[in-house]
């Protein structure tokens, strides 16, 4: 849980100060009727602090050292501790979809690289053979020996996912 909450802790540390943190210690020591007023006051102080911070630093306050392309699987993983059971299932489905799409992109890149390296062996990849075959299924389905070799390296589940994606029109 410590690793997953590091972004939350970093966010909280960036948009608060020690004075506000000290106020957060007080509610358990107050009368119940005063606790809600203190909670509202603390949130107001955090909002005011955040707005002042952005006035003083109108550009990016926090910078990401990550790649420009976000890691959606990691995002789904990091959100799980804060989600309901149903939301976790949806996140897991989304993570699976992202993983499948990533695998498809990697396979497509590998196939394109192999076709560039061995143009004679890969002429039939994804209907790029130059023939005007009108059968969409045969154009989308691999028939070259290079592709057969690559497809032989995949598990049955990976083959099914690859075939499902290669039969889809992306644009």
Looking at the fold, whether 42 and 83 belong to one and the same domain comes out as no
Residue 63 in domain: no
Looking at the fold, whether 83 and 48 belong to one and the same domain comes out as no
Say if pTM beats, i.e. exceeds, 0.85: no
User: Residue 137's pLDDT is what?
Assistant: 42
User: Cα(12)–Cα(104) distance, rounded to whole angstroms?
Assistant: 38
List, for residues 100-140, the tens digit of each pLDDT value.
888 888 888 888 888 888 776 544 444 444 444 444 444 44
Looking at the fold, whether 26 and 83 belong to one and the same domain comes out as no
Closest residue by Cα to residue 115 from 105, 129, 101, 104: 129
First to last CA, the chain: 40
Residue 94 in domain: yes
Average per-residue pLDDT in the chain? 76
User: Residue 13's pLDDT is what?
Assistant: 84
List, for residues 8-63, the tens digit of each pLDDT value.
888 888 889 999 999 999 999 999 999 999 999 999 999 999 999 989 887 765 55
| Helix (H) or strand (E) run with residue 113 in it | helix 85-117
Looking at the fold, whether 143 and 118 belong to one and the same domain comes out as yes
Looking at the fold, whether 77 and 48 belong to one and the same domain comes out as no
User: Residue 109's pLDDT is what?
Assistant: 87
Torsion of CA 6, 11, 16, 2, to 10 degrees: -10
User: Residue 2's pLDDT is what?
Assistant: 53
Burial class (CB in 10 A: 0-12, 13-18, 19+), 122: buried
User: Residue 57's pLDDT is what?
Assistant: 82
Looking at the fold, whether 41 and 83 belong to one and the same domain comes out as no
Looking at the fold, whether 86 and 157 belong to one and the same domain comes out as yes
List, for residues 135-169, the tens digit of each pLDDT value.
444 444 444 566 666 677 777 877 777 777 776 65
Residue 128 in domain: yes
Residue 171 in domain: no
User: Residue 149's pLDDT is what?
Assistant: 66
The domain of 76 spans: 72-166
Count of structural domains, the chain = 2
Residue 65 in domain: no
User: Residue 135's pLDDT is what?
Assistant: 45
User: Cα(5)–Cα(11) distance, rounded to whole angstroms?
Assistant: 10
Looking at the fold, whether 79 and 48 belong to one and the same domain comes out as no
Looking at the fold, whether 81 and 161 belong to one and the same domain comes out as yes
Looking at the fold, whether 84 and 162 belong to one and the same domain comes out as yes
Residue 40 in domain: yes
Looking at the fold, whether 107 and 151 belong to one and the same domain comes out as yes
Looking at the fold, whether 111 and 159 belong to one and the same domain comes out as yes
Residue 62 in domain: no
Residue 103 in domain: yes
5 secondary structure, DSSP code: T
Q: Are 162 and 137 in contact (CB under 8 A)?
A: no
């Amino acid at each position: 849980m410590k690793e997953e909450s590091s972004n939350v802790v970093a966010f909280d540390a960036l948009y608060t100060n020690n004075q506000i943190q000290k106020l957060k210690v007080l509610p358990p020591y107050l009368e119940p009727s005063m606790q809600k007023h203190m909670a509202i006051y603390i949130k107001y102080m955090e909002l005011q602090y955040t707005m002042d911070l952005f006035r003083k630093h109108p550009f990016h306050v926090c910078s990401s050292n990550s790649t420009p392309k976000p890691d959606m699987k990691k995002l789904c993983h990091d959100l799980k501790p804060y989600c309901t059971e149903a939301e976790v299932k949806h996140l897991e489905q989304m993570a699976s979809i992202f993983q499948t799409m990533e695998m498809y992109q990697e396979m497509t890149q590998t196939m394109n690289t192999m076709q560039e390296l061995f143009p004679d062996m890969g002429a039939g990849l994804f209907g790029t053979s130059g023939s005007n075959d009108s059968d969409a299924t045969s154009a989308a389905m691999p028939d070259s020996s290079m592709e057969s070799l690559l497809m032989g390296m995949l598990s049955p589940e990976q083959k099914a996912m690859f075939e499902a994606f290669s039969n889809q029109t992306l644009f």
